[in-house]
Amino acid sequence: MSRKTLPGFKLSMGYTLFYLGLIVLIPLSTLFLKTATLSFPEFWEIVTSPRTLAAYRLSFGAAFIAALINAFFGFLVAWVLARYPFPGKSAVDALVDLPFALPTAVAGIALTAVYSPNGWIGHFLGQFGIKAAYHPLGIVIALSFIGLPFVVRTVQPVLEDLDPAMEEAAKSLGADPWQIFRRVIFPAVFPSLITGFILAFARGIGEYGSVVFISGNMPNKTEIAPLLIMTKLEQYDYAGATAIALVMLLVSFALFLVINTLQWLSSKKVGMEAT
């Protein structure tokens, strides 16, 4: 049966558009309306100031690096949870979701205490000349912490649903474990891995609570864009805050559009190879 013939389409579609407009489109439109109160020279001066550009580079760069780290280690965690039984598996599985439940400010305080120069891990790293807290490295650590569940929870169900017969067939044809992983498992998991990467990257771009404590908030060094927006709001510079937020929104949308296009092309390629 075609899904288009199911009853209730008009009502459900109307509710969907109403809800998205109320929750997403209307609030986002205020960014454009408030920013429109600035002249173009004023807007350009705000979004291209050295402090703002440094905050952009740090926010997007740290979020991208953290998402890459989570893509690798999140895949390993999902692989272990999906493929191997071991004592305490339920506890480890629940531990993955802890960043979802833990308030981000609490996570930031905990990470700062652990990675500060006097902390358990920070003191150890200091012996090798590595500074984590109050340094861009600390921001990457915080974003890796809050982004890990997105990768694990998107990859794990796909690994669990893979048909073992495909791996057995490849093995019977003489494929070694690496070939089975590279040609059978990874192509099937790759779209979900990209999805997890996108979600972790998006979460990291706008993260504030877990980063504000561990970063040190030094302008042009460890100040992230969300913190700069909050600073302008505290100074009642609403137009300046929305201008910075608007640039983040447009850049994020462009990046997600590119990544989603690559994901679609990858899925299409995998489907063509399967047929």
153 burial (CB, 10 Å; 0-12 / 13-18 / 19+) is middle
Q: Is residue 240 part of a domain?
A: no
Band of pLDDT at residue 266, cut at 50, 70 and 90:
low
Which string of b and e fits 78-95 if b means at least 16 CB within 10 Å? bbbbbeeeeeeeeeeeee
pLDDT higher than threshold 90 for residue 122: no
Tell me the residue range of the domain where 122 lies: 50-223+246-274
Question: What separation in angstroms does the CA of 74 have from each of 11, 86, 148?
Answer: 39, 18, 6
In a domain, 201, yes or no: yes
Question: Is residue 60 one of the residues assigned to a domain?
Answer: yes
Considering the domain boundaries, does residue 131 fall inside one? Answer: yes
Categorize the per-residue pLDDT at 133 as very low, low, confident or very high, splitting at 50, 70 and 90.
Answer: confident
pLDDT digit string, tens, across residues 175-196: 777 888 888 888 888 888 988 9
pLDDT at res. 45: 92
Q: How many domains does the chain have?
A: 1
In this prediction the pTM is 0.83
Residue 9 lies in a domain: no
116 dihedral zone (left: phi>0; alpha: psi -120 to 50; beta): beta
Residue 76: CATH number of its domain: 1.10.3720.10
* Residue 148 covered by a domain: yes
Number of other CB atoms surrounding residue 36 within 10 Å: 13
Residue 2 resides in a domain: no
